[in-house]
């Protein structure tokens, strides 16, 4: 089913200096992957790893050689004042059309660790993605013992069918697109699939007594993933390119969009150990990909003998929300954090599924003869025909309305049973929230039990935020803030909102631009679980959005 794709990687990295400019060329091309064509960057799945240092400026020239419109998003990179290079289609840019080129330009400021890049249009990110590794400035150490080696581990999701066709069909029927056929580790599904062969397993040779830094990315489309390495303790040292207090565990949970850097010491008897990943799936009664991807970590150069069959790690049950939530709850930022202590703008957003009636002449059958939707505050986001950021810069012209509600129209028992059917009907619109420059923002994300509860990984572009609180059930605006962690909460760009629960995030709105906020389960973004925050310019020259680049694609 899967093979390693052969292609030419063209990278140009300029010479050593304190902070440098790095040039990359991304050619979006098609590769045949045994039974189907996939869209790739430079012929690779996953695509090339970008390596840079904090302070570097990147120029990435993307040329589109395929029939699809394409954009690339640098997930988690803050893009200070450079929203034009953020990448979400119809939010910060019009797509790069077939045959066209656009150069993304941005500087990495104050971020170290692992991030990733991916296509940000339709579901093309299924095969268009890769890691971004940000090292400290030259001569500066990591805040943990220097590892002997570093390994990117990219968790992906694979369909045997053509993904874009699947999405197009689901668009007509209003149903959920078919579930995936496999998960992958660095592009390979591993040993446990029917068609698995020797060359469908990613192998990591290791030496005994060394420490490895695994830079793990969940690049899957629709699944939170558990990850474990048999018999080895993992020490979490960074998440979403922010350092954490070292946290030892044998199970990780990564929501789509999230990254986790762990140290692994090869302190076990000589042998072969599986690393394995499978879904954490919290939507009761819904179909999901219940397969397991594996890779093999093999000790090298040892005098001992070992048995051939690698040792398999224990992975939690697919619906083990307790383990998933506990993992998130145990993460702390390394240093005391600069959490906004008072809040200028307090948003309360419900997060959940919804339905929409179909017109008689275009019947659909997502659920109860209706179309599946997903919403913040019961509003399903309608993608505009032109980019929001351009519309804002040139004076809007009715592309969006600045009236996204700060709270739901109706207060109700959000996670209660048997919510009336009238609550299931989604409204639609291209609504955004306007935030003054430097305002302190709190957003409480409250999952609902409309159709069913489910974990939602909510991602905000242009920012990191502090996850100051989370809980199960309905958020209590009097009691819950007393328990917030305002000292060392984890700092991330994607928060896994617990199934049937809530999460509270805080940040300072110090990056002007229009920033997409959406569920990183791609199927939910397709159903409209998205909105945008417009952060106004400040007064100083370094507090304003830069002018658009000359080659910004036009719609």
Cβ proximity of 172 and 364 under 8 Å? yes
- Is residue 118 within the footprint of ligand C2O (CB under 6 A)? yes
Smallest separation, CB 66 to ligand C2O (Å)? 20
249: number of Cβ within 10 Å: 18
Residue 518 engages ligand C2O in binding (rule: CB under 6 A): yes
Task: Kindly list the strands in the beta sheet with 182-185, ordered across the sheet, starting from the edge strand earlier in the chain.
Answer: 182-185, 149-158, 211-218, 259-265, 234-239, 242-249
Query: Does residue 431 interact with ligand C2O by CB under 6 A?
Result: no
C-beta closer to ligand C2O: residue 22 or 520: 520
Nearer to ligand C2O, 366 or 462 (CB): 462
Binding segment for ligand C2O among 319-327, 330-338, 514-522, 540-548 (CB under 6 A)? Answer: 514-522
Binds ligand C2O (CB under 6 A): choice among 74, 226, 281, 516: 516
Nearer to ligand C2O, 73 or 356 (CB): 73
Min separation Cβ 83 and ligand C2O, Å: 13
By beta-carbon proximity to ligand C2O, the closer residue of 81 and 118 is 118
**Measured from the CB of residue 183, what is the shortest distance to ligand C2O in angstroms?**
18
Contact 106, 79 (CB under 8 A): yes
Binding mask 363-382 for ligand C2O (x = CB under 6 A): --------------------
* Distance in Å, CB of 493 to ligand C2O, minimum: 8
Query: With binding defined as CB under 6 A, does residue 120 bind ligand C2O?
Result: yes
Minimum CB separation of residue 526 from ligand C2O in Å reads: 12
Total of residues contacting ligand C2O (CB under 6 A): 11
Binding region for ligand C2O (CB under 6 A) out of 184-192, 304-312, 516-524, 545-553 = 516-524
Is 73 among the residues that bind ligand C2O (CB under 6 A)?
yes
Q: C-beta of 265: minimal distance to ligand C2O in Å?
A: 31
In Å, how far from its chain's centre is CA 201?
A: 24
> Which residue, 62 or 339, is less far from ligand C2O as judged by CB?
62
CA distances from 215 to 9, 158, 270 (A): 21, 21, 23
Residue 198, SS3 per DSSP: helix
Of the pair 492, 518, the CB lying nearest ligand C2O is at 518
Distance CA 237, CA 332 (A): 10
- Identify the burial level of 454 via C-beta atoms within 10 angstroms of its C-beta, where 0-12 means exposed, 13-18 middle and 19 or more buried: buried
User: What is the smallest separation between the CB atom of 256 and ligand C2O, expressed in angstroms?
Assistant: 8
- Under the criterion CB under 6 A, does residue 81 sit at the interface with ligand C2O? no
Candidates 171, 235, 231, 246; CA nearest to 528 is 171
Phi, psi of 243 (to 5 degrees): -75, 150
Least separation in angstroms between CB 288 and ligand C2O: 20
Residues 6 or more apart whose CB falls under 8 angstroms from that of 3 comprise 33, 34, 199, 200
CB of residue 495 vs ligand C2O: minimum separation in angstroms? 13
Give the DSSP letter string of 356-409.
EPPPTTS---SBTTBEEEEEETTEEEPPPSS-HHHHHHTT-TTS-BS---SS-S
Nearer to ligand C2O, 356 or 459 (CB): 459
Residue with token string 């430097």: 438
CA angle, 174 then 176 then 182, to 5°: 155
The answer to the question of residue 492 lying near ligand C2O (CB under 6 A) is no
Residue 277 β-bridge partners: 227, 293
Smallest gap from residue 472 Cβ to ligand C2O (A): 26
- x-or-dash pattern for ligand C2O, window 22-61, by CB under 6 A? ----------------------------------------
- Which one among 257, 352, 366, 528 touches ligand C2O, defined by CB under 6 A? 257
Q: Which is nearer to ligand C2O, 157 or 206 (CB)?
A: 157
Is 129 an interacting residue with respect to ligand C2O (CB under 6 A)? no
Give the C-alpha separation, 225 to 327, whole Å.
12
Residue 5 corresponds to which tokens in the numbers above?
């794709």
φ/ψ (deg, to 5) at 186: 50, 45
Q: Taking CB positions, which residue lies at the least distance from ligand C2O? A: 75
Least distance in angstroms from the C-beta of 260 to ligand C2O: 15
Q: Which structure tokens are listed for 171?
A: 């668009």
Q: Which stretch binds ligand C2O (CB under 6 A): 242-250, 339-347, 353-361, 512-520?
A: 512-520
Q: Is the dihedral of CA 354, 359, 364, 365 positive or negative?
A: positive
Cβ closest to ligand C2O, residue 218 vs residue 474 = 218
Whether the CB-CB separation of 358 and 370 falls below 8 Å is answered with: yes
- What number of other Cβ atoms are within 10 A of residue 289's Cβ? 22
459 is an interface residue for ligand C2O by CB under 6 A: yes
Pick one of 22, 44, 75, 356: the residue that binds ligand C2O (CB under 6 A): 75
Counting Cβ atoms within 10 Å, is residue 198 exposed (0-12), middle (13-18) or buried (19+)? exposed
What's the min distance (Å) between Cβ of 241 and ligand C2O?
13
Residues that bind ligand C2O (CB under 6 A): 73, 75, 88, 118, 120, 257, 459, 461, 516, 518, 520
């Amino acid at each position: 089913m899967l093979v390693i794709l052969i292609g030419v990687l063209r990278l140009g990295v300029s010479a050593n200096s304190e902070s440098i400019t790095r040039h990359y060329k991304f050619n979006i091309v098609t590769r045949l992957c045994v039974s189907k064509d996939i869209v790739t960057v430079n012929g690779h799945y996953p695509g090339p790893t970008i390596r840079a240092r904090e302070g570097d400026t990147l120029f990435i020239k993307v040329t589109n050689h395929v029939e699809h419109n394409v954009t690339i998003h640098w997930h988690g990179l803050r893009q200070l004042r450079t929203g034009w290079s953020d990448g979400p289609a119809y939010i910060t840019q019009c797509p790069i059309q077939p045959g066209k080129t656009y150069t993304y330009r941005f500087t990495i400021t104050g971020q170290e660790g692992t991030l990733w890049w991916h296509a940000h249009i339709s579901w093309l990110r299924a095969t268009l993605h890769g890691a971004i590794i940000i090292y400290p400035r030259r001569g500066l150490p990591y805040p943990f013992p220097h590892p002997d080696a570093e390994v990117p581990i990219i968790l992906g999701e694979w369909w045997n069918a053509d993904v874009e066709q699947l999405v197009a069909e689901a668009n007509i029927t209003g149903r959920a697109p078919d579930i995936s056929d496999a998960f992958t580790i660095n592009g390979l599904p591993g040993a446990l699939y029917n068609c698995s062969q020797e060359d469908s397993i990613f192998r990591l040779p290791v030496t005994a007594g060394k420490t490895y830094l695994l830079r793990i990315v969940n690049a899957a489309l629709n699944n939170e993933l558990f990850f474990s390495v048999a018999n080895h303790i993992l020490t979490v040292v960074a998440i979403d390119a922010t350092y954490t207090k070292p946290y030892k565990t044998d199970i990780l949970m990564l929501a789509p969009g999230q990254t986790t850097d762990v140290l692994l010491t090869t302190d076990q008897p000589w042998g072969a150990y599986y690393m394995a990943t499978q879904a954490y799936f919290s939507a009761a009664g819904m179909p999901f990909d219940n397969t397991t991807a594996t890779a093999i970590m093999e000790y090298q150069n040892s005098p001992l003998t070992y048995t051939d069959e690698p040792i398999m790690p224990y992975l939690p049950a697919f619906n083990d929300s307790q383990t998933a939530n506990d993992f998130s709850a145990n993460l702390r930022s390394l240093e005391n954090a600069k959490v906004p202590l008072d809040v200028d703008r307090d948003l309360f957003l419900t997060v959940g599924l919804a339905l929409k009636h179909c017109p008689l002449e275009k019947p659909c059958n997502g659920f109860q003869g209706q179309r599946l939707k997903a919403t913040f505050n019961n509003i399903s986001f309608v993608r505009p025909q032109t980019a929001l950021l351009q519309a804002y810069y040139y004076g809007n012209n009715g592309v969006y309305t600045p009236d996204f509600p700060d709270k739901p129209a109706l207060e109700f028992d959000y996670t209660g049973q048997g919510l009336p059917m009238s609550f299931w009907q989604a409204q639609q619109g291209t609504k955004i929230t306007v935030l003054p420059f430097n305002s302190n923002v709190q957003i409480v994300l409250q999952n609902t039990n409309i159709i069913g509860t489910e974990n939602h990984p909510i991602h905000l572009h242009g920012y990191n935020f502090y996850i100051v609180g989370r809980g199960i059930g309905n958020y209590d605006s009097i009691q819950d803030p007393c328990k917030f962690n305002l000292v060392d909460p984890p700092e991330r760009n994607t928060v896994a909102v617990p199934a049937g629960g809530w999460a509270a995030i805080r940040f300072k709105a110090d990056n002007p631009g229009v920033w997409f906020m959406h569920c990183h389960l791609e199927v939910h973004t397709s159903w409209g679980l998205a909105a945008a925050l417009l952060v106004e310019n400040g007064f100083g020259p370094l507090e304003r959005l830069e002018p658009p680049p000359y080659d910004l694609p036009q719609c």
